[in-house]
Amino acid sequence: MPITVNLDVMMAKRKMSLSELSEKVDLTLANLSILKTGKAKAIRFSTLEAICRVLECQPGDLLEYDDGNKK
């Protein structure tokens, strides 16, 4: 999939654990884990907004597009 989720990178920069983020955004550990490992097929804007609010980042800090065509 050409969309990469960099949730683990932002969590490391903010020194936040998955369980702490889970509590603050009110999502289950399982759902955040699926997102963190890149296995999610979709994300709700409300979830993205909550994660960005807690991690104090922009959506572009979490999501990256790479179509594989290196220039």
Residue 35 confidence (pLDDT): 94
Q: 3-class secondary structure for 41-62? A: CCCCHHHHHHHHHHHCCCHHHH
Calpha distance 8→10 (Å, rounded): 6
- Topology (CATH level 3) of domain 3-65: 434 Repressor (Amino-terminal Domain) (1.10.260)
Please state whether 38 falls in left (phi above 0), alpha (psi between -120 and 50) or beta. Answer: left
Domain boundaries, the chain: 3-65
Residue 68 confidence (pLDDT): 75
Closest CA to 26 of 9, 7, 46, 43: 46
Q: What is the pTM of this model?
A: 0.88
- 39-58 pLDDT per residue, tens: 999 999 999 999 999 999 99
Closest CA to 24 of 63, 58, 52, 61: 52
Q: Return mean pLDDT, the chain.
A: 93
